[in-house]
């Protein structure tokens, strides 16, 4: 049994308890789409994780393993990291749906070449994806979904206290269901605009066949961009409702992972 002890008694025990509680919270912050972005400094993540861990230590009777460097202590810490990563990954799957929809819409409009660096994922995404990401972020924060997610993170210490086994086959199935739901949501977002773009492309193809002298690229690209923008403006009210549903679903999915 290897136990960390520097001779500070109860103060040191509270410190290691606080650090152990921070493990799950920091892992969730790292995997979450808003808190774990590259634009958020590591100092802010550490301070936020430490502040939430203080609340958890004061509200719940969480106890750290007596020997953190033992096999049981390392396995307990790995279980904490797994729970936190799963709660953050549930949000990532929901936030990826608008990005997938933007890939489909941008390809239909001919705007796939217009890419920018996505601060959320760190990769390059279509300019349309940036628009969807900003709208979803504003709605997610405006509806208070981030506070509900943090509340679920705190409540997870009551349903799954440290030392409780979390990994099970049904929870792996839940993550697969969340991924399926992500693709369905992306289709629902992209379907209205994609149908209009399909009609425009079919019409452009008919015109180019009836008048071969016309340049298909000079006619089809502006028509696709204009039709796509008009369709997105017309679908804006529906997009807001879908984004609200995505925010609620993201928190619900994270909650389903920590419910017994």
pLDDT per position as a tens digit, 90-143:
888 888 888 888 888 877 776 666 555 555 555 556 667 778 888 888 888 888
Domain assignment of residue 144, yes or no: yes
Domain assignment of residue 4, yes or no: no
**Predicted pLDDT at 210:** 72
Domain assignment of residue 2, yes or no: no
What separation in angstroms does the CA of 101 have from each of 85, 95, 214?
Answer: 25, 11, 31
Domain assignment of residue 195, yes or no: yes
Q: Has residue 222 got a pLDDT over 70?
A: yes
Q: Which residue has the higher pLDDT, 172 or 10?
A: 172
Range of 137's domain?
A: 10-257
Banded model confidence at residue 187, pLDDT cuts 50, 70, 90? confident
Is-above-0.85 flag for pTM? no
Q: Has residue 1 got a pLDDT over 50?
A: no
Domain assignment of residue 236, yes or no: yes
Return the closest-CA partner of residue 99 out of 121, 68, 73: 121
Q: Which residue has the higher pLDDT, 110 or 161?
A: 161
> Count of domains in the chain?
1
Q: Has residue 195 got a pLDDT over 70?
A: yes
Q: Which residue has the higher pLDDT, 214 or 194?
A: 194
Domain assignment of residue 1, yes or no: no
Domain assignment of residue 5, yes or no: no
Half-sphere exposure of 109 (CA within 13 A, CB side): 23
From CA 53, how far away is CA 154, in angstroms rounded?
8
Banded model confidence at residue 41, pLDDT cuts 50, 70, 90? confident
Mean per-residue pLDDT over the chain, rounded: 78
Which residues, in sequence order, are CB contacts of 211 under 8 Å at separation 6+? none
For 169, the enclosing helix (H) or strand (E) is helix 169-210
**Predicted pLDDT at 21:** 84
**Predicted pLDDT at 122:** 56
Domain assignment of residue 3, yes or no: no
């Amino acid at each position: 049994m290897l136990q960390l002890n520097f001779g500070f008694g109860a103060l040191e025990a509270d410190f290691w308890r606080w650090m152990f509680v921070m493990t799950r919270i920091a892992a969730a912050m790292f995997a979450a789409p808003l808190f774990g972005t590259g634009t958020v400094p590591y100092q802010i993540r550490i301070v936020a994780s430490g502040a939430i861990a203080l609340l958890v230590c004061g509200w719940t009777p969480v106890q750290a393993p007596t020997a953190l460097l033992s096999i049981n202590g390392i396995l307990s810490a790995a279980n904490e990291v797994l729970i936190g990563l799963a709660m953050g990954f549930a949000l990532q799957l929901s936030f990826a749906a608008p990005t997938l929809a933007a890939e489909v819409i941008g390809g239909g409009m001919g705007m796939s070449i217009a890419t920018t660096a996505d601060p959320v994922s760190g990769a390059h995404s279509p300019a349309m994806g940036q628009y969807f990401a900003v709208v979803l972020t504003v709605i997610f924060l405006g509806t208070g979904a981030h506070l509900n997610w943090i509340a679920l993170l705190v409540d997870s210490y009551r349903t799954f206290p440290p030392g409780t086994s979390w990994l099970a086959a049904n929870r792996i199935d839940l993550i697969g269901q969340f991924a399926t739901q992500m693709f369905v949501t992306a289709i629902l977002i992209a379907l209205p605009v994609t149908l209009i773009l399909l009609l425009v492309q079919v019409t452009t193809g008919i015109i180019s066949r009836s008048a071969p002298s016309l340049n298909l690229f000079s006619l089809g690209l502006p028509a696709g961009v204009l039709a796509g923008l008009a369709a997105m403006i017309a679908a804006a009210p529906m997009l807001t409702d879908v984004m609200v549903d995505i925010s609620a679903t993201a928190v619900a999915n994270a909650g389903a992972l920590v419910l017994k």
